[in-house]
Chain A
Amino acid sequence: MNALYDIRGLAVRVEGLCRAAVPDINAKLHWFEIRDDGRQADIEMRISPFEPRREGCLALDRRYWVRPGYLYLEESDKGLSWRAEIDGLDRPAGKPLRIRFAHGKANRRRIPWRLFPDLVMHLYVLWPVLECELAARGLWLVHAGAVERDGRSVVIAGRGGVNKTALVAELCRRGWQPMSDDFVLLRNQPPRGTVVLAMPTSPRWFQFQLQNMEDEDLSLWDKLRLLRYLYHRRDVSVAFVAEASLGRVVLLQAVEGQAAPEPAPLKLGPAAEALELNCRMERTAYVGHGFRIGRFLEAYRYVVPESTYGHGWDRGLGQALRELIAPTKAYRIAVPKRYDPNLADLIETL
């Protein structure tokens, strides 16, 4: 199955997506899918077995083979394994980045990965590349949910497990419009200032949450119900607002023990740093010991230190976020681990 995604001007084509999978989790970029008109994409991705072209490459860690512009990797994490080849790093403008990806043999036998096998590709290979490519186009991918009202948005950032989605769903029940529950893009558009662009990565999941669930504590029964729902419901009835001006930034941090949520204003410097680290920690959070998502980009720069690929994201993320959120107010709320419904009241008063 082929799919063409248009992420705010960045075209990504993925060939060979798994058909039988739960589509919403399997293809993270689902929401951006457009009709494939045969145009040349900026990232051409193909999922199929392939022969690497390793001639003239320098090897490191028995995992990466690198020559200028080219990278081949064989990585594994948590029992999953994959091979990928990235051609066209440091390419001139207008040329596509070609990625080939092949699953390890054991991936499809693993539960629950066999229900959404291509998520491996999205998480471990495409996502770090996407972050760099988007950053090079002035779009900053931020791990945060967002809701909108009257053209202004509240961006709700936090690590996984602080009930971002539940909060976004609760606000939507109170008349806010949903933008995204997991990722947003920030962009500076000079007359309007900072604009928040929605990037819902699993819209039907959010829809299920909005209709059926109060908090994010999923029992096994809930999980099975959710999977059945995602597999059978092919339409999205929730209307996501595509873009809005940046109104407020809220950072949720889970605190141990009993605590009444209380918003504390956050200065610009710490707010930008926390947002930046929230993005960076996505690469180390849910992986096994000693693994790091996107390490292949570091391996590439180790061999080709003069390369500037990914510099924009790697060096510039903190500064960019600082400039983007400078005009607004940021708050930090320490929330208890169990979802507190009063949180939505607090957000509304900000």
Chain B
Amino acid sequence: MIVDQYNFHDLVTLRIRRHRRTWADSFLDSTFAHYRVEPTAEDVDIDVAVGPFEPHLAGTLSVDGRWWVAPGRVLYDSRLKVGRWRTEIEGLDGDRLRVRIASNTPARMVFPGETIYSLVRLSLARRGHLLLHAPAVTFGGRALLLPARGGTGKTITAVNFARRGWGFMGDDSAILTDCGVRSFVVPFNLRFTYDVQRLLGIRFSRRKRSEIVLKRCLSVATLGHINLFSRIDPVDVFGEQIVDAAPLGAVYLLMQGPEAAISDPQPVEPFAESVLINTLFEADELRAMLLAYRYGNPGSHLANLWDEAREALRRRLADCLCRRVTVPGRYTPDVFEMIRARAEADLAGEAAP
């Protein structure tokens, strides 16, 4: 039995147990490696057992042939390309989630990023914290959040900031609590279309370089059906610069548009809506699961989850600088310099230049 335990800033604890390792398990091992702690005997918030299990379907409600729902319990099947996995979650009406995941081997590359993310997101949301789909960097002890859709330049912006000596809190997501931002450091997922070595300012080992070449060949040979990402641990790149907690200073919403521009400070009222939608877009699996669960168990207290998140987000963004940044499709160093100049002024608390 292999037991891994993770602790996200004492907000949520996660334990993953499995019987055996497979070749596809590196995703499971590396995704939350930054938060790994020694396994303990006490209860954790999310207890995941990976391996085959017998589903208890008798008496459950079948919803659309994909979801099986009973009080406090939901079971569902997911599929993505060749990956197939089945998840059973117990304790949805309580504080602790007991989860069982049975999957085929390829799905082990997928479900950490889908199902386990969903569980962490749900556990955080139940405790009033938000896992925002936004990189976070810090300057002068205050955090800058950069919510954006995929492909806008999140990772490039965050990495560029870190290379200028800013603190780094995660290139994909960050946790927003009532007392500021908490880091969510997961491996960089870089497509080989990036020149990764130049972007990160590092030099790979020979083995890593040949791995990237192989992945590119695989992608070309399968006409893009198999796209394996290169996963690089930020700790190896920005080890000293990783910051775990900082108060929120500013939020820049990045959008892809015709020309580079930074808006004046935005009122929080419609702005928070964009930030929330950006996060909800990433939580599709969780949203669909909650719909099915609530359909079978109407009156559950999960009904207000997103409304509470919206309220919390408004409250937390109320006293920080919110701007909309338009980034052209072609991300040039000038664009980054523009963002950096404004961000430094904002976070240092000066008037805009």
Over the window 248-263 of chain A, the binary record of Cβ atoms lying under 8 Å from chain B Cβ atoms (1 yes, 0 no) is 0000011111010000
Q: What are 9 A-B pairs with beta-carbon distances under 8 A?
A: A58-B256, A58-B257, A58-B326, A61-B150, A280-B291, A281-B291, A301-B277, A302-B278, A305-B277
* B62 CB–A CB distance under 8 Å: yes
- List residues of B (274-301) whose CB comes within 8 Å of A's CBs: 274, 277-278, 280-281, 284-285, 287-288, 291-292, 294-296, 298-299
Q: Is A286 an interface residue when CB atoms closer than 8 A count as contact?
A: yes
- Residues of B with C-beta under 8 A to A280: 291
Stretch of A87-95, A228-236, A265-273 at the chain-chain interface: A265-273
Asked whether B299 lies within 8 Å of A254 as measured between CB atoms, the reply is no
- Alpha-carbon gap, A233 to B272, bound state (A): 53
Chain A residues within 8 Å of B, Cβ to Cβ: 55-62, 159-161, 253-257, 259, 266-267, 269-271, 273-274, 277-278, 280-281, 284-286, 289-290, 292, 295, 298, 301-303, 305-306, 334, 337
* B270 and A274 contacting across the interface, CB-CB below 8 Å: no
Interface of chain B residues 63 through 92 with chain A (CB within 8 A): 63-66, 68, 78-80
Question: Does the CB pair B281–A286 fall under 8 Å?
Answer: no
Q: Closest CB-CB distance, B96 to chain A, in whole Å? A: 25
Which of B52-60, B181-189, B336-344 sits within the interface?
Answer: B52-60
In the bound complex, do residue A305 and residue B299 qualify as a contact, i.e. CB atoms below 8 Å apart? no
- Most interface-central of B149, B152, B329 (chain A CB within 10 A): B149
Closest to B278 in A: A302
Pairwise interchain contact B64-A159, C-beta atoms closer than 8 A: yes
Inter-chain contact A60/B152, CB cutoff 8 Å: yes
When chains A and B are docked, how far (Å) is the Cα of A19 from the Cα of B152?
A: 42
Nearest-neighbor residue (CB-CB) of B288 within chain A: A284
Q: Which residues of A contact B63 (CB under 8 A)?
A: 159, 253-254, 281
Q: A281-B291, A303-B255 are in contact. List 7 more A-B contacts (CB 8 A).
A: A60-B256, A253-B296, A255-B61, A256-B60, A281-B295, A305-B273, A337-B62
A57 and B259 CA atoms in complex are apart in Å by: 10
Instruction: State the CA gap A179–B78 with chains docked (Å).
Output: 36
- Complex Cα–Cα for A298 and B256 (A): 16
The B interface, classified by DSSP as helix, strand, loop or mixed, is: mixed
Q: A256-B58, A269-B298, A277-B294 are in contact. Are A59 and B257 (CB under 8 A)?
A: yes
Q: From residue B55, how far is it (CB to closest CB) to chain A in Å?
A: 10
- Determine whether the beta carbon of A285 is less than 8 Å from that of B62: no
Say how far B118's CB is from chain A's closest CB, in angstroms. Answer: 12
Min CB gap A306→B, angstroms: 4
The yes or no answer to B271 lying at the interface (CB within 8 A) is yes
Complex Cα–Cα for A285 and B76 (A): 12
Assembled-state Cα–Cα distance A337/B271 (Å): 46
Contact, CB under 8 Å: A302 / B58? no
Contacts of B280 in A (CB 8 A): 298
- Measured CB to CB, the nearest residue on chain A to B258 is A56
- Give chain B nearest CB distance to A138 CB in angstroms: 23
B12 to chain A, nearest CB (A): 24
